[in-house]
Amino acid sequence: MNKFLKLSYMAMMAAFISSCDNNFEEMNVNPNASRDVVPGFLFTRTQLTTVSNNFTGGAYLTIGQSMQHFATYKEVPAAGDKYFNYTYSNGNWALFGGDPATAGAVIDIAQVIDALKTSPDNVNKMSVSRIWKAYLYHRLTDLYGDIPYSEAGRALTDKNFTPKYDSQASIYADLLKELDESIAAFDASKATFGSADLVYGSRSAAEQITMWKKFGYSLMLRLGMRLTEIDPAMAETWVKKAIAGGVITADSELAKIDYVDGSITASRNFISAGLMSTDYVNPGGDNVEGGKFAKTLIDHLKTTNDPRLNVISIVWIPSADGKSFTADTTTALQKGMPNAAFNSRPADFNTYSEPNPATILKYSAPLLVMTPAEMHLLLAEANLRGWYSGATAEASYNAAVTSALKQWALFGTSGVISDAKIAAYLKNNAFNTAGTTAQKMEQIGTQKWLALFLEDEYEIFSNWRRTGYPKLTPTNYPGNLTGGKIPTRFVIPDSEELYNKVNFYEARTRQGGTNTLSSVVWWDK
């Protein structure tokens, strides 16, 4: 824990400090801060910021509700439940950063790469940084569409505060190129980030290189498959290249960031901390944002006899005197709250299901960044498209489901799902080998909606927009902002219209002239 906190603290102190003019340089130097970029420390901060930024507003209240994992009875936090409030979605824009003390991940990773490029001995650190940069930007462009890219992150170094917006098509082309080049550049004789890398830093240097190559190819597979509806030929090229390179398929290869329980809040898992502070801090009480699990999710888990239900979901049962509550995972008790069904606290609010404190709400829960479950599902889809013959779609589907159920063991003993339960689930929810391609795609998409639940709501949102799966019934709450349609894009903040007006307007025009929750990104057909 001390090493984790030290890295986090030092990363925050390592931001570039620029000096003033008029011969006041020496007076303007902070003696307690580094004047130079320390790549390892800053890379640590970049990893932490990338995954955790705006979780509550973006991943939980906006996507988590619109993908019908969660529901709320309140109106203000109903960005995804009632398609009401767009401001929660623009918080992810903070990844582009501000002043040096609060620089976002975009500025941080640019500084890391600038510092590393001065020496060929840094080639492995550079490759990892370029891969992480691709991970960061693919999330941003998938949320907002056209964004600053080629000129982004240069506010500190080049004083460019009005970067142009690049088209999403050009961004995707460059992200895939970056992944390809960075993977090829690794050198086993050179140093790695070591423990400054929160994803694979606990492994040997050789293992770190191997795993980052797999991470890079896995991200390439994800991005390549994103292009299936907009450029099938390009999609096929990159999907095949990623598979040939080798993606994450074994549970031992899973990419994750470990967190620590304790009094220092910065060391806690940001998902559990966010959910606890936002909604689930008071057992049996009135949750701050009025949130519960959604009926769509709970009904699906119960209908399919999914053992994940008893791992993720509880209902608070009051004691005889009503002074205390017990978390109960009994299947029959689980009940999801309908989306957009209420505008005041329902009388039976306490009977709806909430996240399990023994798994999801543990401060020491890990964050799963890239999983074999997702990769096996992508391989199953690649097989259906005729782009992969290494395993049948059924075999990849079975491997994905097995891995997805097993990964909950990383959350502690309450997350362990037995082999017998996994086998029973696969028997009851077997891959439909005799079905149509659309039916098979629906199975794959639905399993991704389950396998990536909570850990990567952003990827669930992207996959749903690309494929239409799982099939979700939109809500149509009075006064909603989308005309009763599930949101399809995040809204770029109003500040861009003030401070980067020319570039923002040009990008808005290129994307259909709108900047709303109903706007669409380039690949969303």
Mean pLDDT by 10 residues, the chain (525 residues): 45 40 50 69 95 95 98 96 92 78 81 95 98 98 97 88 96 98 98 97 96 98 98 98 98 97 90 94 89 98 98 96 93 98 95 97 97 98 98 98 98 98 98 97 98 96 98 97 97 93 96 95 96
DSSP string covering 95-129, please?
GG--SGGG--HHHHHHHHHHHHTT-GGGHHHHHHH
Residue 339's domain spans which residues?
Answer: 265-355
Identify whether 321 is part of a domain.
yes
Could you say which DSSP state residue 325 is in? E
Q: Is residue 155 one of the residues assigned to a domain?
A: no
Identify whether 51 is part of a domain: no
Residue 169 lies in a domain: no
Query: If you count them, how many residues does the chain have?
Result: 525
Which residues is 294 bridged to in the sheet?
337
* Residue 457, in any domain of the structure: no
The answer to whether residue 294 sits within a structural domain is yes
Residue 270 domain-assigned?
yes
Q: How many CB atoms lie within 10 A of CB 159?
A: 8
The residues, any chain, with a CB within 8 Å of residue 168's CB and separated by 6 or more, are: 141, 145, 146, 147, 521, 522, 523
Please list the helix, strand and coil fractions of the chain in percent, rounded to the nearest 5, in that order: 50, 5, 45
- Calculate Rg over the CA atoms of the chain: 23
Q: Please state the domain count of the chain.
A: 1
In a domain, 274, yes or no: yes
Instruction: For residue 277, give both structure tokens.
Output: 């502070």
Q: Is the dihedral of CA 25, 31, 33, 34 positive or negative?
A: positive
* Largest distance between two CA atoms of the chain: 77
The pLDDT of residue 20: 44
pLDDT at 213: 98
What pLDDT shows up at residue 156?
A: 81
The whole-angstrom separation of Cα 329 and Cα 438 is 34
Predicted pLDDT at 99 = 45
DSSP string, 243-306: HHH----SGGG-EEE----SS-GGGS-HHHHHHHHHT-SSTTS--TT-EEEBHHHHHHHHHTT-
The backbone torsions φ and ψ at residue 267, rounded to the nearest 5 degrees and listed phi first, read: -90, -5
Please state whether the predicted TM-score (pTM) of the whole model is above 0.75.
yes
Helix (H) or strand (E) holding 147: strand 147-148
Phi, psi of 335 (to 5 degrees): -150, 125
Gap between the Cα atoms of 364 and 298, Å rounded: 25
Please check whether residue 325 is in contact with residue 440, taking contact to mean a CB–CB distance below 8 angstroms. Answer: no
